[in-house]
Amino acid sequence: MDELVSKILKLKTSGKVGLTLGVAVVFGLLYYTMFYSDMGDEIARAQGAQDALKQERESYERRKTEYLAYRNELTVLQEKQREILRALPREQEIPSFISSIQEQAELAGLEVLNLNIDEELPEQLYVKIPVKMEVRGNYHAVTRFFKSVSELRRIVNVEELSLAPERTVQDKQTEGPVKLRARFIAATFRYREQGKG
């Protein structure tokens, strides 16, 4: 070892500088291969894991946004369905419908002459329930009745309306408004369950 040190000391300055640089390069290469390259690999792996987590988070956020939008849309659709089912009930509820129609006719000042429930007419999403009616009263009573029917909670269509003047013996003796005989179909509807009539 003393011999090596004495040989190094005998070298010219340029040789000493070259030897120092060579030793520094060797130590640099050793440091790079032992520590820095491993650390670089770890950094690359950590960066890859971070990128994967970032993509997963973005995917989660996108799915969360889609889910919340879907849930809001579902809530709106369910509320609309509840509103429709209020107007378009699942069961027939014919007795309550008939009583409400008769009540509206009496409140309007009409005399119900005839009321017949016809056969149900199934459609794709609903079932139509026609109710043939014949009433008697003055024009204003008839219009009040139709207005009150239009304000009912359930859907009611008035179809095939015919109006004809009718003067009874009592009407001829008094100078009141002309009585009308109104014939029409008050059609209501109910929701049709899939696979059922």
Provide mean pLDDT across the span 22-37. 81
Angle at which helices 94-108 and 139-150 cross, to 10°: 140
CA–CA dist 187, 79 (Å, integer): 25
Q: What is the pLDDT of residue 181?
A: 92
Indicate the pLDDT class of residue 182, thresholds 50, 70 and 90.
very high
Evaluate whether 134 touches 182 at the Cβ level (below 8 Å).
yes
Q: Give the global pTM.
A: 0.54
CA–CA dist 79, 71 (Å, integer): 12
Size of the chain in residues: 197
Q: What is the pLDDT of residue 12?
A: 78
CA–CA dist 105, 93 (Å, integer): 19
Average pLDDT, whole number, for the chain?
A: 83
More confident residue, 4 or 181: 181
Indicate the pLDDT class of residue 168, thresholds 50, 70 and 90.
low
Residues 6+ apart with CB under 8 A from 30: none
More confident residue, 87 or 32: 32
Q: The domain 94-191: what is its CATH number?
A: 3.30.70.60
Evaluate whether 153 touches 100 at the Cβ level (below 8 Å).
no
Render pLDDT for 99-144 as a digit per residue (tens, 0 to 9): 888 888 999 999 899 988 888 888 877 888 899 999 998 899 999 9
Q: Cα 138 from chain centroid?
A: 46
Residues 6+ apart with CB under 8 A from 152: 100, 104
Q: What is the pLDDT of residue 145?
A: 92
Render pLDDT for 58-94 as a digit per residue (tens, 0 to 9): 999 999 999 999 999 999 998 887 777 766 666 667 7
